[in-house]
Each structure stands twice: as C-alpha cells, then as structure tokens.
DNA sequence: ACCTGAACACCGTTCAAGT
DNA sequence: ACCTGAACACCGTTCAAGT
C-alpha cells in the first residue's frame, strides 16, 4: 500500500522498510520493493539513505529504539542485590520486542557500524550494573559474556527438532545409528516432556541460559 | 589458480569454495568465481551442488569436519569432575580452527538445515557431559545455554572500539555526553589495560564467558 | 553423465535529465 | 532540493544443446 501524499524522509523510508520485513521477511526488503511501498521510484530512496548498508543500519536503529522505549518505561531504581531482577526484566522486555521482529537478530549480526540506539541500550545496562555494585572491569567482561543475550536473543545453530515437533520412533532409531548420545538425550527429554506440548521451548531455554550467566556474574560481583 | 585436469566432484567444489572464502572473504564466493577456481563454467557446478544454499551447507560441513578431526585427536577419557576441563579443551580447539576461517561463523548462522558434522560435534559433547555426571535433561539445557559458544564462537554485536584501538581523550569526552556510563567504563578499563596492548582481547573475553557458563553448569550438575 | 553458452529474472547503484 | 527513467555491472539460475 503506497502512501504517496506525504513527501519522503529518512524516518518514513526506514519505517516502511521495517513494515516490509515484518510482513514479508527480510528477503522482501529490496530497494525497488521499498520504493513501491513509499510510492516512489527506487532511486528516490538514495536521497534519504546512502545505500543499502545504511538502510539496514537505520532499520536496526528503529527496532532497538523500540526496545529502548519499552525498557525505559519499566525502569526501577537499583541498588545492591536487586540488580539481577532489574537486568533480567530489561533483557526479557528486549526479547519481547524482538519477537515482533523475528528477522531483526539476523540483520543485527551483520552490522559492523556502532549504532547509537545499541549504545544507548548498553549505556543504561552498564549504569544498572554499576549501581548494583559491579566494578567497571567486571561489567566489561559481563557485556562480552552476555553478548547478544543482553539484547534479548541468541542465534541457535543447533535445532534438534523444531521444539513443537517430537521425533518419531523411527527417526530416533535412525539417528541412534550415527549419533547415539544425541539420540539418548532426545529419547529421554522428549519422553519427559510428554507429547502434547513441544519438548523444547525457546523462551524457557533463553531464560535458563540467561540465569546461568546472571547467577555466575552475581557470584563474581561479591568476590572480586 | 584453476586446476582443470582433475574432473569435478562435490568434494573438490566445496574445498575450492572454502579456499575462496579463506583467501578473499565470503563476499568473493560467487558461482562464477567458483567455476573459475575449479577451471569450469559456473553452470557445471550445478551437477555437484543443488544450488547456492546447498553449496553453503557443504562449506560449513567441510569446516566443522575440520573441527571434529582436531577435537577427536585430543580426546581423553572423562569421568566425574574432569568433564569441565575436557569440554573446555574441546571448545577452545574448535575456536582455534574457526580462527583460520573467520567468515565461517557468519555463514553457520544463516544455515537452517541440520548439518551432519554439527550433529557429530554435539553428539560427542553430549556423550562427554553424560559421562561427566550430567542428566540428559540438564545436558539439553546446557546445549542451549552454550549456543554457538559450544562450537567456539560468539557473534559480538557490541564492539566498543576494536580491542587494539584505545579511544582518545577527545573521543571519550564526546561519548560521555550521550553515554556517561559507557564512557565511565571505557575510561577505567582502557586505563587499567595500559596503552601498549589492546584493552579488549577477544580470546580472553571468550574464555571468561565460557567459564561463567561452565562453572554455572557444574554447580547445577551437583544439585539437580 | 558431465559440461557448456546464451539467456532470463532479478539485484544494488550511476548518471544525466527533469521539476 | 528532490525525484525520475534508462542504463550498467553484477547476481543465481534455466534451458537447450553439445560431447
């Protein structure tokens, strides 16, 4: 749906790009398709965006601004031990926003330029950890340890079944021939989970990994 | 350098693709350029590879096979508490291999098909953890908590300076206006590190994050 | 069975020309 | 200043034709 009345602007171009990615996936985000979306020729976009790389930088900026807005709204004063609850809440809120833009993590990982909204997000997180009693040195390590988890996502490269899809007995036996340990794990874990719900819930696993790291950091906080 | 004597095979095509990516970056890996590398037309490649996606799957397979070979060579019997040392060694060995193929992590994250070599890697890791006293249920969570770290890499999306590049005083002051906490952290961390060496070493940070997770898992191992 | 040349349908991007 | 149409240099991929 082209909105041709309003004149173009960087902001309007970027928002249209996010709409396309949300609706049709990141693969649908081409300069020609984006021109169509804003009711202009593809070439007109270059007056508001340097090139496609710049477009993708801007698109990430829009999404992380949405995260920052959501996270700012829930903020509480932090002192001492409650740092963990506050950090956890921020990160899970970031994750909620990203679930509305499932293509965004993939794009974020291709960016190399520092993004002001990403900096803003981490700046607040550093402030929170410092108020919570962390040394700057430990905070620096903590940011690396969290990595993309700080912003609410992890890129899974090992997807043993789709979570919802419980493997059949036949599939398990075929797997067991080549990968006995994996098959053993799957047999037990899928059995415990029952068959109605998926045996592998992304949200649960994200929170598990996050808590392992946050607990570990909390322990280091009090010992160094 | 085209080697036109030997006839084409999937293996030879994939190895040539890895060579191109190693030498000129993943951006240089096009079907036409790959054809050139093996001394054939681009279209001949389609007899050995279904399409570019399949090519990339195969390229990842080659790299992870290299990891598996390196990891198999160093393996030790594992019982009880020494699981951590063994897992750590495997993962850091995987990382060493990936440092020779810096483009590989980015490609791995775009793959959606299960890769037999990735399965083999995780199968051995599951076996190691199980021998170390982990329940299959905890192992399943552990794999998710580790994510790509299990294979020796993390995708950093927050690169506050290049590690080697210590920010200047002027840069710090400009940053402080918008991001006071980040600037405070940088000021202290870069000062402590001195100016000769980089203040932010990828290997050190990788090991820090890895140890936080492994230590956390070890604690859970003994309590559930 | 394996390889090829020409062609097709897409990209991002340039450039000179319009208003 | 902003926008456009035509064109360029690339992609991955198809297809009919060669051996």
Give the closest of A157, A179, A200 to B111, CB-based.
A157
What pLDDT is attached to residue A122?
97
Nucleotides of C under 7 A from a protein CB: 2-6, 10-15
Q: What is the mean pLDDT of residues A172-186?
A: 94
The minimum CA-CA distance between A135 and chain B, rounded to whole Å, is 9
What nucleotide is nearest A48 when CA is compared to C1'? D2
**Residue A212 pLDDT greater than 70, yes or no:** yes
What totals of helices (H) and strands (E) does chain B contain, helices first? Answer: 10, 0
State whether the beta carbon of A47 lies below 7 angstroms from any atom of strand C. Answer: no
What pLDDT is attached to residue A3?
45
- Interatomic distance A43 CA / C10 C1' (Å): 16
Closest residue by Cα to the C1' atom of nucleotide D15?
A: B43
How many C-beta atoms surround the C-beta of residue A7 within 10 A?
8
Asked if A213 and A146 touch (Cβ cutoff 8 Å), the reply is yes
Cα dihedral A104, B145, A224, B162, rounded to 10, equals: -40
Nucleotides of D under 7 A from a protein CB: 2-6, 10-15
Round to whole Å and give the CA distance between B165 and B200: 9
What pLDDT is attached to residue A1?
43
Cα dihedral A97, A101, A105, A106, rounded to 10, equals: 180
CA-nearest residue of chain A to B193?
A: A137
- Interatomic distance B3 CA / C11 C1' (Å): 31
Round to whole Å and give the CA distance between B13 and B19: 10
Q: What is the mean pLDDT of residues A20-30?
A: 97
What nucleotide is nearest B6 when CA is compared to C1'? C2
- Interatomic distance A77 CA / D3 C1' (Å): 50
Sign of CA dihedral B101, B70, B141, A137: negative
Asked if B46 and B8 touch (Cβ cutoff 8 Å), the reply is no
State whether the beta carbon of B38 lies below 7 angstroms from any atom of strand C. Answer: no
pLDDT digits (tens, 9 = 90+) for A56-106: 999 999 999 999 999 999 867 788 889 999 999 999 999 999 999 999 999
State whether the beta carbon of B221 lies below 7 angstroms from any atom of strand C. Answer: no
> Model's pTM, two decimal places?
0.93
What pLDDT is attached to residue A191?
77
Asked if A84 and B133 touch (Cβ cutoff 8 Å), the reply is no
Q: What is the mean pLDDT of residues B141-161?
A: 87
Give the closest of B108, B137, B139 to A157, CB-based.
B108
What pLDDT is attached to residue B142?
98
The minimum CA-CA distance between A183 and chain B, rounded to whole Å, is 8
Asked if A156 and A200 touch (Cβ cutoff 8 Å), the reply is no
Asked if A143 and A87 touch (Cβ cutoff 8 Å), the reply is no
What pLDDT is attached to residue B156?
80
- Interatomic distance B43 CA / C7 C1' (Å): 13
Compute CA distances B120 → A180, B47, B67, whole Å.
10, 27, 10
**Residue B199 pLDDT greater than 80, yes or no:** no
Token reading at B73:
């060579």
CA-nearest residue of chain B to A128?
A: B181
pLDDT digits (tens, 9 = 90+) for A112-136: 999 999 999 999 999 999 999 999 9
Contact A213 B213 (CB under 8 A): yes
CA-nearest residue of chain A to B182?
A: A123
What pLDDT is attached to residue B191?
77
- Interatomic distance B43 CA / D13 C1' (Å): 9
CA-nearest residue of chain A to B140?
A: A185
Q: At what angle do helices B52-73 and B83-99 cross, to 10 degrees?
A: 130
Token reading at A107:
């794009």
State whether the beta carbon of A41 lies below 7 angstroms from any atom of strand D. Answer: yes
pLDDT digits (tens, 9 = 90+) for A8-19: 899 999 999 999
Asked if B105 and B153 touch (Cβ cutoff 8 Å), the reply is yes
Asked if A209 and A149 touch (Cβ cutoff 8 Å), the reply is yes
Q: What is the mean pLDDT of residues A52-59?
A: 97
Q: What is the mean pLDDT of residues B12-29?
A: 97
Going by C-alpha positions, the residue among A43, A39, A14 that lies closest to residue A29 is A14
Token reading at A24:
């049709």
Asked if A204 and B140 touch (Cβ cutoff 8 Å), the reply is no
Going by C-alpha positions, the residue among B140, B119, B127 that lies closest to residue B57 is B119
Token reading at A67:
């995260």
Q: Is B44 helix (H, G, I), strand (E, B) or coil?
A: helix
pLDDT digits (tens, 9 = 90+) for B154-171: 988 766 555 556 778 888
Higher pLDDT, B1 or A172: A172
Mean pLDDT of chain A, nearest integer: 91
**Residue B206 pLDDT greater than 50, yes or no:** yes
Residue A186 CA, chain-centre distance (Å), reads 27
The minimum CA-CA distance between B40 and chain A, rounded to whole Å, is 30
Q: What is the mean pLDDT of residues B90-116?
A: 96
């Amino acid at each position: 749906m082209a909105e041709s009345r309003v004149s173009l602007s960087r902001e309007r171009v970027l928002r249209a790009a996010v709409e396309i990615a949300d609706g049709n996936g990141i693969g649908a985000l081409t300069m020609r398709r984006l021109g169509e979306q804003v009711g202009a020729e593809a070439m007109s976009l270059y007056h508001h965006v340097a090139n496609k790389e710049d477009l993708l930088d801007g698109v990430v900026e829009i999404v992380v601004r949405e995260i920052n807005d959501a996270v700012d709204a829930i903020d509480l004063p932090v002192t001492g031990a409650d740092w963990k609850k506050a950090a956890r809440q921020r990160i899970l809120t970031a994750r909620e926003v990203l679930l509305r833009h499932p293509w965004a993590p993939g794009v974020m990982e291709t960016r190399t330029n520092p993004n002001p909204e990403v900096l803003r997000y981490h700046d607040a997180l550093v402030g929170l950890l410092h108020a919570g009693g962390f040394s700057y040195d430990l905070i620096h390590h903590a940011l690396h340890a969290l990595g993309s988890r700080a912003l609410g996502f992890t890129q899974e490269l090992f997807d043993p079944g789709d979570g919802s899809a419980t493997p059949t007995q036949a599939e398990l036996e075929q797997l067991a021939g080549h990968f006995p340990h994996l098959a053993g794990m799957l047999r037990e874990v899928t059995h415990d989970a029952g068959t109605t719900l998926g045996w592998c819930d992304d949200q649960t696993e994200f929170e598990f990994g996050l808590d392992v790291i946050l607990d570990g950091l909390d322990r280091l906080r009090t010992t160094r």
